[in-house]
Structure 1
Amino acid sequence: MSKVVQLNSNDDVVISLQVIRKGETIQIHTDEKDLINITIQEDIPKGHKLLVHPVKEGEDILKFGYSIGKAKRDISVGEWVHTHNLATGLKGILDYTYQPINQPKVPKQSEHMFQGYIRENGEAGIRNEIWIINTVGCINKTCELLAKMGNESFKDRGIDGIYHFPHPFGCSQLGDDLSNTQKLLASLVQHPNAAGVLVVGLGCENNQIEYFKEVIGEYPPNRVKFMKSQEVEDELESGLVLIEELVKYAEQFKRQPVPVSKLKVGLKCGGSDGFSGITANPLVGAVSDIIVADGGTTILTEVPEMFGAETILMNRAENDEVFKRIVHLVNDFKQYFIRHDQEIYENPSPGNKAGGISTLEEKSLGCTQKGGHSVVVDVSSYGERVVKPGLNLINAPGNDLVSVTALAAAGAHIVLFTTGRGTPFGGPVPTVKIATNSDLASRKKNWIDYNAGQLMEGKTMDELKVDLFHYILDLASGEKKTNNEKFGFKEISIFKDGVIL
C-alpha cells in the first residue's frame, strides 16, 4: 500500500496515509507518469502534506489542483508543509465575474423510494415525533420536564418520541437577533419530522406567542398547540393535556412509500482532518448528486468555509440571479467579520490544524466537495426553509451546532456530518456522523455511523456512494437510527449577532 496519495497531477503536495519518518523514501508519479523517488526531510504526521515540487517564497502551493496558500519561505522537496511554512493567500472582499460551467449531470437510474409520513400539507416526514418548542429560554426546564413526563405517559402510542430543544434566547433581544430567533424556531415548528408541536411561552418575553404565530404562518390547528405558562394554574398538568392531544393527532400517520424527490438532506463537516477532502466529503458529494438526480434536495452551508472556494460554487449557479445571490451570501458574511473587527480568514480551528489542514482555502476546497457537482439552484437566508429541489445554499456560520440547527430549520430531514476528529453531538434531526478514516470509526463506535475511510482500504467511490445512499433510504424509512438518536443527542443552537439587554 502506498504511503501517500496524490490528488491532482499538478499538485505541489501529496498527503501522507500514515506517519512517514525522516530519511524514508517514497515514490510518486510525475506529469509524464514516470516514477520518481523523494527522500523525506522530516517526520510527516498522518494526514499531513509533504512537498513534491520545489516552491519559492510567495509562490502558490497547489492541492486539489487549486492554490491552498502561499509559501512563507523557500520550501524544498520532501519537506512537511503546514502552518509553519504556508500562509493563506486570501484577501478582503472581492469582486466576482460569473463564468458558468457545464457540469455533467448524474443520470437518474430509477425512482428510488423510502417509507415516510405524508403530512396534511403534502410534505413528507421521516420521523413521527412530538416537538416542544419554547419561545424563550426562561422555561427550558419546564419544557424538559414536559418532554420527560410525556415520554413516560405516551411511550406506547405510535410516536417516535417527545423532544425538547433548549436555547437561551427569545427575550432581551433586539433587531435581527430577535428576528433570527423567531424565524429559526418558526421553521422548526413547521418541520415535517414533527407530527405535532407544542409551543410553550412564558408570557412576558419579547417573543410573545401572538407575534410568534405571525412568523410561523399557516399551520393545521390540530398539529400545533400553544401554552402561556404564566396564564395557566399548573403548566405541567396543562402541558401534558396538550401533548396528549398532539399524540392522538400523530397516531393517524402511518409510513407509506414516498419518492426521494420529497427528501431533503443537509451537508455538514466538523472536526475536519487531512482526509476530509479525500474520503468523506467527496463521498457525500457523490451521494448529494444522486439525491439531486432523483429530484430531491440537498442543502450546503458553513459560509466562512466557502471562502477560497466560493468561485467553484458561483460558477455552478443555475443563472445570473443565483450567482449574484451567492456573491451577496459570501461578501455579507465577510462584512460580518469586518463589523466585529475580526480577521476574515482566521480559520481553520486547532483541531483542523492538528489533523493536517493548514489554511482556510485548503479547508474550503475540501468542505465544498460535499455539494458534489450539481448546479446551485437557490440561496436562502438564515432561518428560512428551502423551497426549490436541487442543491441549495443557506446562510449560517461553520459552528457545528449553529449550522446543523440551520440545516434542520431549512427543512433537512437528515444531516450528513463528515468528521475526521469525531463528535457525539446531533441536531434535532438524524445526524449521520461519517468518519474520514477507519481509526476514528473503530475507536468511536457510539459516535460514528458510517466509515468513509473504506475508500483508502480498497472500496471504490462507486461502491460506497451506492451503499451510503441506501443507508440513507433505510434511515429515512425508520429501519435504522443514528447514534445521536439512540443516545439522545438532539440539540439546537441559535445564531446571535447583536445586543442582549
Structure 2
Amino acid sequence: MSKFLQIHPIDNVIVALEPIAEGTAVELVRGSIIVAKDIPQGHKIAVSPIKKEEHIIKYGYSIGIAKEDIAIGQHVHTHNVRTGLDENLEYKYTPKGKPLTIGKEELTFKGYKRKNGDVGIRNELWVIPTVGCVNGQAKLMAEQLKTEVDTSHIDDVLVLGHQYGCSQLGGDHTNTQKALASAIKHPNAGGVLVLGLGCENNQISQLKEMIGEWDDERVKFLVSQEVEDEVEEGLKIMKSLCEIMKCDRRTEVPISKLKIGLKCGGSDGFSGITANPLLGRFSDWLVAQGGTTVLTEVPEMFGAESILMERAQSENIFCKTVDLINGFKDYFRTSNQPIYENPSPGNKNGGITTLEEKSLGCVQKGGDAIVNDVLNYGEQIKTPGLNLLWSPGNDLVASSALGFAGCQMVLFTTGRGTPFGSFVPTMKIATNTTLFNHKSNWMDFNAGGLVDGDKTMDQLRKEFTSYLIDIANGKKLKHEITKFKEIAIFKSGVTL
C-alpha cells in the first residue's frame, strides 16, 4: 500500500494514508520530497511551494488559503491555512449535469407494503408523544407491553420521546408538528399510538390536520387527560395494534422503493477518499434503478454548493438550492454566529482543516446524479432521484430529519466513530480499517479497503449494495442490537 494519495492531478497537497515520520523521502511522479515533520494519518503534506494567500488545492478545488509561505514537505493544516469562504455569493444557472449511464439490474428486497403504497424495511410498533410531558407514560406502556404480550413478531417497540410540543412559538412549533406528523406516517412503523396530554400547544386535533391522510387501522390516538388511567388505556390500544401486526409479512418489492438518507459525521482525512465516494457511487446506482437518495447537512455544503447547483434538474430547482444555501447563512447571521465555523476538534484531529475541505468531501455522498428536488425541514419526499434536504449538520438532528422526510434507512459515514442511532436504521460506515477493527461494536461496514489496496470501487459498491439489501431484508445494524434509537427535532427560537 502507498503511504500517500494525490487525489487530483492539480492538487498541491497529498494525503498521508498512514503516519509518515519526519525525514521520510516520499517518491512522487515529479520527484522525491522530504517530509519536514511527523505527519498523522489522514493529514496533508505540501508537494509544491505555496505562497502566503495562495490557495490550497485538494480534490481539484480550493480548500482554503495559506496564512504563510508553506514549503514542500511541510504539514498543511489549521496552523497555516484559513478558510477562503465569504458572505452570500451570487450564483448563475449554468447547468452541467448529465443523465447517468448506469444500467438497471432489476434487484428486489423484502419489505412491508403499506396501504398508501410506501414500503417499510422494519415492522415496528411506535408510541409517539405529542409533548415531552408524557414521555414517561409512553415508556411505561412500552415496557408493560413487552412483559404482558408476545412481541416476537414485531421488530421493535419504540417510544419516540422528545422534549417539545409545548412552550414553542412560530416556526419551532410548526417544525415539531411537521416532524411528528411525518413520523406517524413512516413506513417502518406497522402500528402507531399517538399519545397526547390534553393541555399542550401541540393539540392532537391540530396535529391531525398536519398529518393529512392516515391509516385508521394502524394509527391510534389517546389524550391522557381524557381518561382515568392513560397507561391502562394506552396498553389496550398497543395490544390491539400488536395483534393486527401479526398478519404482516415481508414481500418482494423492487429496489426502486428504497429511500435512503446520506449523512456523515466525525470526518477524517479519508472521508472524501473512501466512504463518501462509496456512498456517491451507491447513490448514483440506486437513482439509476429508480430509487431515491437524500443529501442533507446544509452548512457542510458551503464551499461546494456550486457543484450541486450545476446539477440542478431545472432553473426552479437551481433557485431552490440557492435559497437553501443562502437561507441557512441568514439563519446563522440571525443568531449572530459565524457562517463558516471550522470543523469540530475530532474533524481537525482526523485531518480536516477547513469547512470547504469538509464540504468537498461531504457532497461526494451525492454522487453525480441530477438534483431532482429540494425539501424543507419536515417535508416528505415527492420526487424519486437525488434530493437535497434542509437540515443542520448535527448528527442526530440531521439523521432524524432524513427519517422525517421518509427515508427508511440512513447511511452514516465516519472516520472517528459513534454509537448513536436515529429512529430509522442508521448504518455506520468506517472510512478506514483501523476504526472498523477498533470499534467493531459500533461500525457496520468498512470502506477502508479502498486505500488498503484490496478492493476496487466497483467491487466495494457491489459488496455494499448486497449488504444494504440484507439490512433492508431485516438484518440488524449494530445500533439496533444495542437499541440506541433516538430522535432530535430541530429548534431555533425561544422557549417560553
TM-score range, shorter chain: over 0.9
Verify: 1:3 aligned to 2:3, yes or no. Answer: yes
Alignment of 1:52-201 (within 5 A): 52-103=47-98, 105-156=100-151, 158-201=153-196
1:149 is displaced (CA, Å) by 1.7
Match of 2:461 in 1: 465
Map Cα deviations across residues 41-89 of structure 1 (whole Å, 9 max, x no partner): 1111111000001111111110000000100011110000000000000
Match of 1:14 in 2: 14
Letter in 1 for 2:470: D
TM-score of the aligned structures, taking structure 1 as reference length? 0.98
CA distance in 2 between partners of 1:100 and 1:123 (Å): 32
Map Cα deviations across residues 115-144 of structure 1 (whole Å, 9 max, x no partner): 001111111111111111100011111111
CA distance in 1 between partners of 2:156 and 2:5 (Å): 45
Report the 3-state secondary structure (helix = DSSP H, G, I; strand = E; otherwise coil) of the residue aligned with 1:382.
Answer: coil
Match of 1:33 in 2: none
Map Cα deviations across residues 298-321 of structure 1 (whole Å, 9 max, x no partner): 000000000000000000111111
Report the 3-state secondary structure (helix = DSSP H, G, I; strand = E; otherwise coil) of the residue aligned with 1:251.
Answer: helix
Q: Do the aligned residues in 1 keep the contact of 2:151 with 2:242 (CA within 8 Å)? A: no
Q: Do the aligned residues in 1 keep the contact of 2:97 with 2:369 (CA within 8 Å)? A: no
CA distance in 2 between partners of 1:155 and 1:263 (Å): 30
Letter in 2 for 1:248: E
Match of 1:268 in 2: 263
Match of 2:473 in 1: 477
Paired residue for 2:241, among 246, 249, 255? 246
Match of 2:405 in 1: 410
My pick for the range that moved more, 264-273 or 450-459, is 450-459
TM-score of the aligned structures, taking structure 2 as reference length? 0.98
Paired residue for 2:338, among 343, 354, 374? 343
Q: Do the aligned residues in 2 keep the contact of 1:157 with 1:251 (CA within 8 Å)? A: no
Match of 2:428 in 1: 433
Q: Do the aligned residues in 2 keep the contact of 1:151 with 1:161 (CA within 8 Å)? A: no
Report the 3-state secondary structure (helix = DSSP H, G, I; strand = E; otherwise coil) of the residue aligned with 2:247.
Answer: coil
Q: Do the aligned residues in 2 keep the contact of 1:70 with 1:86 (CA within 8 Å)? A: yes
Match of 1:23 in 2: 23
Letter in 2 for 1:250: M
Q: Do the aligned residues in 2 keep the contact of 1:116 with 1:255 (CA within 8 Å)? A: yes
- Note the aligned Cα RMSD (angstroms): 1.0
Report the 3-state secondary structure (helix = DSSP H, G, I; strand = E; otherwise coil) of the residue aligned with 1:27.
Answer: strand
Match of 1:386 in 2: 381
Verify: 1:326 aligned to 2:316, yes or no. Answer: no
Q: Do the aligned residues in 1 keep the contact of 2:256 with 2:291 (CA within 8 Å)? A: yes
1:456 is displaced (CA, Å) by 1.3
CA distance in 2 between partners of 1:434 and 1:119 (Å): 29
Q: Do the aligned residues in 2 keep the contact of 1:4 with 1:14 (CA within 8 Å)? A: yes
Verify: 1:301 aligned to 2:296, yes or no. Answer: yes
CA distance in 1 between partners of 2:202 and 2:427 (Å): 32
Paired residue for 1:286, among 242, 263, 281? 281
Q: How many pairs align?
A: 495
Structure 1 residue ranges without an equivalent (≥5): 31-35
CA distance in 2 between partners of 1:157 and 1:49 (Å): 51
CA distance in 2 between partners of 1:146 and 1:466 (Å): 42
CA distance in 1 between partners of 2:208 and 2:103 (Å): 40
Report the 3-state secondary structure (helix = DSSP H, G, I; strand = E; otherwise coil) of the residue aligned with 2:459.
Answer: helix
Over the matched positions of the two proteins, sequence identity in percent amounts to: 56
Map Cα deviations across residues 9-54 of structure 1 (whole Å, 9 max, x no partner): 1001000011111111101224xxxxx1000111111110000011
CA distance in 2 between partners of 1:193 and 1:451 (Å): 26
Letter in 2 for 1:16: A
CA distance in 2 between partners of 1:462 and 1:155 (Å): 44
CA distance in 2 between partners of 1:12 and 1:150 (Å): 61
Q: Do the aligned residues in 2 keep the contact of 1:449 with 1:482 (CA within 8 Å)? A: yes
1:258 is displaced (CA, Å) by 0.6
Paired residue for 1:225, among 220, 228, 231? 220
1:155 is displaced (CA, Å) by 3.4
Letter in 2 for 1:20: I
1:98 is displaced (CA, Å) by 1.3
Alignment of 1:43-54 (within 5 A): 43-54=38-49
Letter in 2 for 1:5: L
Report the 3-state secondary structure (helix = DSSP H, G, I; strand = E; otherwise coil) of the residue aligned with 1:10.
Answer: coil
Verify: 1:359 aligned to 2:354, yes or no. Answer: yes
Letter in 2 for 1:459: K
Alignment of 1:31-50 (within 5 A): 36-50=31-45
CA distance in 2 between partners of 1:249 and 1:219 (Å): 16
CA distance in 2 between partners of 1:87 and 1:264 (Å): 37
1:157 is displaced (CA, Å) by 5.3
Structure 2 residue ranges without an equivalent (≥5): none
Letter in 2 for 1:145: L
Q: Do the aligned residues in 2 keep the contact of 1:157 with 1:247 (CA within 8 Å)? A: no
Report the 3-state secondary structure (helix = DSSP H, G, I; strand = E; otherwise coil) of the residue aligned with 2:333.
Answer: helix
Q: Do the aligned residues in 2 keep the contact of 1:434 with 1:452 (CA within 8 Å)? A: yes
1:235 is displaced (CA, Å) by 1.3
